[in-house]
């Protein structure tokens, strides 16, 4: 069994506690306008090219984005980082893309990692059949769960999918998961209006059973824009600027009213 992964990040310090290894799994059912990992959307390996400059000459090299890894490959990479993950209270995170879109591989990898004593985290959009979440629950120490918009219409408009399944899964995890961290991308003009924020705050408060450990407010950034050019994809965020620091601070105060720890950034 193999999983399709488009990037492995070591010394990953923004995808859960401590120093982690993060595997970015390829394939996502959502197509968020602001997505900064557009190479993670398609569930097939993609060809792209990279230009290396050497001595005034350019070399265009074909590169495959997305490689297949076995569970043993995953373990081998993580074992090399164990010293750092153990000492820092870190572990291993599966992100993406949408990791739960490769449920069998994800389950097998999580089981194997737990057996070896690694702390595990899954960073998910929540868009996957409930059964998949139930299966990985026992082997996942932490879910990083994205909440993007509470209005179903608006959610469809911004991400291409309904939020109904997402919110059901969120309630399931808020009830049964060991720990959950909510990640809210803050996208100016899309989900940052006062009315929506108020609803989101109240929603989180109503669902929380005590296992929601943190809310991360992730300010929109433009780092992904160059990737759109590289992958010949349409950049839909022209003219949108990152939210101001002041605005983020206000939002932080706002969400702190849930009683949950709030952090700006990952």
| 44, 47, 51, 57: which one binds other proteins (CB under 8 A) | 57
What is the rounded CA–CA span in Å between residue 145 and residue 159? 15
Q: Is 49 in the site for other proteins (CB under 8 A)?
A: no
Q: Is 81 in the site for other proteins (CB under 8 A)?
A: yes
Structure tokens at 136: 């990985």
Cα of 184 vs its chain's centroid, Å? 10
Q: Is 68 in the site for other proteins (CB under 8 A)?
A: no
Quote the strand ranges of the chain, DSSP E: 2-12, 20-25, 46-54, 57-65, 67-70, 91-96, 120-124, 142-146, 180-186, 212-219, 261-264
Place of tokens 């090399």: 80
Nearer to other proteins, 84 or 235 (CB): 84
Q: Is 90 in the site for other proteins (CB under 8 A)?
A: yes
Q: Is 249 in the site for other proteins (CB under 8 A)?
A: no
Q: How far is the CB of 80 from other proteins (least distance, A)?
A: 6
Q: Are 101 and 128 in contact (CB under 8 A)?
A: yes
Cα of 224 vs its chain's centroid, Å? 14
Nearer to other proteins, 10 or 196 (CB): 10
| 10, 33, 114, 230: which one binds other proteins (CB under 8 A) | 10
In the complex, the residues that contact other proteins under the rule CB under 8 A are 9-11, 13, 17-19, 52, 54-57, 59, 61, 80-81, 83-84, 87-90, 263, 265
């Amino acid at each position: 069994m193999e999983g399709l992964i488009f990037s492995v990040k070591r010394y990953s310090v923004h995808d859960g506690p401590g120093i982690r290894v993060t595997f970015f799994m390829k394939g996502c059912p959502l197509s968020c306008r602001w997505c900064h990992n557009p190479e993670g959307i398609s569930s097939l390996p993609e060809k792209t090219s990279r230009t290396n400059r050497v001595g005034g000459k350019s070399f265009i090299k074909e590169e495959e984005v997305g490689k297949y890894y076995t569970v043993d490959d995953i373990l081998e990479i993580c074992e090399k980082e164990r010293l750092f993950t153990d000492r820092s209270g870190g572990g291993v995170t599966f992100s993406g893309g949408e990791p739960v879109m490769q449920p069998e591989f994800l389950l097998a990898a999580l089981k194997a990692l737990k057996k070896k004593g690694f702390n595990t985290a899954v960073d998910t959009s929540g868009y996957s059949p409930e059964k998949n979440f139930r299966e990985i629950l026992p082997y996942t120490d932490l879910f990083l769960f994205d909440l993007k918009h509470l209005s179903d219409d608006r959610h469809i408009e911004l991400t291409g999918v309904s939020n109904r399944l997402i919110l059901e899964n969120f309630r399931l995890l808020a009830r049964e998961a060991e720990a959950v961290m909510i990640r809210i991308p803050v996208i100016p003009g899309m989900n940052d209006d006062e009315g929506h924020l108020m609803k989101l705050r109240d929603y989180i408060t109503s669902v929380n059973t005590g296992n929601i450990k943190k809310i991360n407010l992730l300010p929109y950034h433009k780092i992904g824009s160059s990737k759109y050019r590289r992958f010949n994809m349409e950049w839909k965020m022209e003219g949108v600027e990152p939210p101001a620091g002041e605005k983020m601070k206000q939002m932080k105060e706002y969400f702190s009213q849930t009683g949950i720890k709030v952090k700006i950034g990952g």
